[in-house]
Chains A and B, each alone.
Chain A
């Protein structure tokens, strides 16, 4: 029960309470319930247009991401080749880059004078979809690839022996086994793109708008809380509906899969087909992920007269008239400290949630608090950051929890975003523990503690490490929630980048690019290091 109570308490205090309060303030402006804004929002043709665009661009982005990334997941999980670990870590980097920076890189790449300017994509919806695929490629590769690299290949081989073709084997054997992972990945991608903000604002130009952008405008710019509350309700309703559908798709297979150690599954690249597959996916990754990153790096080095480290040196010095008080390199330290704290919180909260969800229910039917928690923990991903941030402002304002100006709010907000990933990474692994292993151990005379230590712990420990890498990376790159609570004394790296971009002069702009490259390197290194801990075994994911 404690497993459920602690996460519910945390989410209740730091998510439900602030969000409910600000929505309540919007819906009851004079102390009386007024549903008029809700009705006018639903019936306003312009806003309906916005809602429709939000929905279809999210669906299209999700489809594009899954189509591009599934082959990548296959290649990375089934073939052994040089640099595989590095690629695995590197594809995670785009996921954590600040949207402002990525959008800016896409803009100069696709803009009229950019290397891909001839395609004429600016002004269409394509830059948005491509940027979304850029960000979320890693979600699909990691979530699906993690599962794929442990699927027992003998099931597929059996199907082939029995005469099924490649395609049929994939459809009848592999796909059903992967379905929970694909559904999980697709719903994360959908949530992210459904609530996309910076990408839409910058790449969509003023013509495209999403619910998230409208909520931001109504709240942060216009302080029109009734309309903002109504829009938030619409957004939350859509998000919950999506989560319920995907939840069912994920639960459809509840039995433990026969998982194998990765080392038994990956094979060297031998056939021509394998080489082709590898090359094709390498090309996709280079074009989709590598190219924008290269543009960023190039711009961080180009000082107008040639290439050099002018902007990087400027970052270290922080002249008084260029930034305020905190040298950007100190922001790296802030980011790392917050990321550590956020990871710790997310692992505790997400870990408890994962245990609660993964435990086999005593009753097959009936009310299960774990399932409620399963949905609750995901809602922060589908909620506008400005709503959460402003909710903090008006709720956590009296003792004993006057946290409004406390730096602790930053890791807490990051943990809200990172927790779903911890849950999603850990649940499939915990479920995969064969209960018979525990029974056997108990039968052989092991105490319950010993069973836990010998059977559960090794798997749990690795699950925690992988989840920690994800949480750490998310916290490093988190921007949306941070921007509403970032305290002056402790700006994170993405906040510094954002501030530099808002100032005139090529020096500030170049420093923003240089800081982005530093953020990329720090993130890549962190993920790579954390993942080195997981030596190959069944628990690896």
Chain B
């Protein structure tokens, strides 16, 4: 196995980086030895976020070196649960800043008043389409498209042109091919339902779901069941004996299939149906009731910094919102951004979310 030395070297590099980073962390927390120019006093703030938050080693340490602020990361479940915990504890907040509330949960967080307004200077580098809160209580950090992915090999070997649009999925020639997540439990599942509401409007969307159900739609509980078990195109799904060549997942799934594969392939095994996408934007904000408002705001600034933005794609498989951020090579080659994704105003989602999920459940599952 010629991959072995490389892996070992990577491990050595990672170890060195970790040691350096932890030495740097010790250094900055000891206070007195810091250069005078880093004037802010050493404090620790807590960032509340979802379970999928990830950075390369050392990225948060570089924030600490620059500002003297240490960040403790509090992972609080999936996106919805993290938001709900922040709302539940708003009288005695668990953290100073929050990252990971998306446009499907945004209005719930804003209505509960958990954020204080803050206009981050680098926001000027962020396109207006991502700035969904005019009062700047939250700051956009990244975005991603929930789309249908297809197993390219399946369609090739069956001499079948893959579907292109949401409407195509209900076509009888694609019978029994699609697997999706339950919108009551999973955020991509909900995003796909929202895409159909944006496509067909709030009066006709359920008719579409009746057709899709009649066309042999499969619903599972979670994203990993859909993508890593039932889908035939992903490497994990292939191993698990997945049989569905169409899955509701992300536009960033193709690069995820390529990362870590040796030798690097020239094309991804799965594609993205760009006309089926719903856009998710993730935000960060300063939590009301924090005693470290300035420091929490500095963290929000840092999330819009080039360094953090550049680090996001390969860690969380999302796209940075900042205009001038270079994308990693695998993203440039294998990921696509939907040119005209479906969108709905966060307020409308917030008002109707529970009703829509209930109606969908009654139509599709019962």
Give the docked Cα–Cα distance between A394 and B86 (Å).
11
Q: Interface digits, A289-327 against B, CB 8 Å rule (1 contact, 0 not)? A: 000000000010010100000000100011111011100
- Contact residues in A for B239 (Cβ distance below 8 Å): 299, 302, 304, 506, 509
Interface residues of A in 388-430 (CB under 8 A from B): 390, 393-394, 397-398, 404-405
Residue B73 interfacial (CB < 8 Å): yes
Give the docked Cα–Cα distance between A508 and B224 (Å).
11
Known: A205-B219, A220-B80. A488 touches B10 (CB 8 A): no
The chain A residue with its CB closest to the CB of B184 is A217
Q: Contact residue range for chain B?
A: 35 or more
Known: A113-B243, A397-B92, A488-B73. A221 touches B235 (CB 8 A): no
- Contact residues in B for A499 (Cβ distance below 8 Å): 51
Of A220, A313, A323, A503, which contacts B84 at CB under 8 A?
A: A220
Give the docked Cα–Cα distance between A319 and B260 (Å).
11
The chain B residue with its CB closest to the CB of A104 is B229
Pairwise interchain contact B88-A501, C-beta atoms closer than 8 A: no
Q: Interface digits, A105-143 against B, CB 8 Å rule (1 contact, 0 not)? A: 001100111100100000000000000000000000000
Pairwise interchain contact B14-A111, C-beta atoms closer than 8 A: no
Pairwise interchain contact B94-A404, C-beta atoms closer than 8 A: yes
- Contact residues in B for A207 (Cβ distance below 8 Å): 365
Residue B267 interfacial (CB < 8 Å): no
Distance of A514 from chain B, by nearest CB (Å): 13
Q: Interface digits, A486-518 against B, CB 8 Å rule (1 contact, 0 not)? A: 111100000000010111111111100000000
Residue B89 interfacial (CB < 8 Å): yes
Give the docked Cα–Cα distance between A325 and B219 (Å).
34
Pairwise interchain contact B241-A321, C-beta atoms closer than 8 A: no
Of B56, B81, B227, which contacts A321 at CB under 8 A?
A: B56
Of A299, A323, A487, which contacts B54 at CB under 8 A?
A: A323
- Contact residues in A for B260 (Cβ distance below 8 Å): 505, 507
Give the docked Cα–Cα distance between A201 and B185 (Å).
9
- Contact residues in B for A509 (Cβ distance below 8 Å): 224, 228, 236, 239
Residue B7 interfacial (CB < 8 Å): yes
Residue B345 interfacial (CB < 8 Å): no
Give the docked Cα–Cα distance between A46 and B220 (Å).
19
Residue B27 interfacial (CB < 8 Å): no
Residue A223 interfacial (CB < 8 Å): yes
Pairwise interchain contact A505-B236, C-beta atoms closer than 8 A: yes
Distance of A440 from chain B, by nearest CB (Å): 58
Pairwise interchain contact A488-B222, C-beta atoms closer than 8 A: no
Give the docked Cα–Cα distance between A468 and B35 (Å).
53
Give the docked Cα–Cα distance between A223 and B108 (Å).
10
* Stretch with Cβ within 8 A of A (4 or more), from B157-165, B194-202, B251-259, B302-310: B251-259
Considering residues B53, B219, B225, B362, which has the most beta carbons from chain A within 10 angstroms of its beta carbon? B225
Q: Interface digits, B61-95 against A, CB 8 Å rule (1 contact, 0 not)? A: 00000000000111101001100110111011010
Residue A483 interfacial (CB < 8 Å): yes
Interface residues of B in 207-254 (CB under 8 A from A): 219-225, 227-229, 234-236, 238-243, 249, 253
Residue B314 interfacial (CB < 8 Å): yes
Give the docked Cα–Cα distance between A223 and B85 (Å).
9
Residue A378 interfacial (CB < 8 Å): no
Distance of A396 from chain B, by nearest CB (Å): 10
Pairwise interchain contact A107-B225, C-beta atoms closer than 8 A: yes
- Contact residues in A for B17 (Cβ distance below 8 Å): 320
Give the docked Cα–Cα distance between A508 and B51 (Å).
15
Pairwise interchain contact A224-B224, C-beta atoms closer than 8 A: no
Interface residues of A in 313-344 (CB under 8 A from B): 313, 317-321, 323-325
Known: A206-B365, A221-B185, A404-B94. A505 touches B235 (CB 8 A): yes
Residue A53 interfacial (CB < 8 Å): no
- Contact residues in A for B235 (Cβ distance below 8 Å): 304, 505-506
Pairwise interchain contact B253-A504, C-beta atoms closer than 8 A: yes
The chain A residue with its CB closest to the CB of B229 is A107
- Contact residues in A for B57 (Cβ distance below 8 Å): 320, 325
Residue B155 interfacial (CB < 8 Å): no
Residue A481 interfacial (CB < 8 Å): no
Distance of A37 from chain B, by nearest CB (Å): 14
Give the docked Cα–Cα distance between A507 and B241 (Å).
16
Pairwise interchain contact A108-B240, C-beta atoms closer than 8 A: yes
Interface residues of A in 183-210 (CB under 8 A from B): 201-202, 205-207
- Contact residues in A for B227 (Cβ distance below 8 Å): 504
Give the docked Cα–Cα distance between A369 and B303 (Å).
56
Give the docked Cα–Cα distance between A507 and B229 (Å).
14
In addition to A318-B14, A321-B315, 14 A-B residue pairs with Cβ atoms within 8 Å of each other are A46-B366, A107-B240, A112-B243, A117-B241, A206-B219, A223-B84, A299-B239, A302-B239, A317-B11, A390-B85, A488-B73, A504-B317, A505-B256, A506-B236
Pick 30 A–B contacts, CB within 8 A, sort by A: A104-B225, A104-B229, A201-B185, A205-B219, A206-B184, A217-B185, A220-B81, A221-B80, A221-B84, A221-B185, A222-B354, A317-B7, A320-B14, A324-B55, A324-B73, A393-B88, A393-B94, A397-B91, A398-B92, A404-B89, A405-B74, A484-B77, A501-B228, A502-B52, A504-B228, A504-B253, A504-B317, A505-B260, A506-B239, A508-B236
| Chain A interface residues (CB < 8 Å from chain B) | 46, 104, 107-108, 111-114, 117, 201-202, 205-207, 217, 219-224, 299, 302, 304, 313, 317-321, 323-325, 390, 393-394, 397-398, 404-405, 483-484, 486-489, 499, 501-510
| Chain B interface residues (CB < 8 Å from chain A) | 7, 10-11, 14, 17, 46, 51-57, 72-75, 77, 80-81, 84-85, 87-89, 91-92, 94, 108, 182, 184-185, 219-225, 227-229, 234-236, 238-243, 249, 253, 256-257, 259-260, 314-315, 317, 353-354, 361-362, 365-366
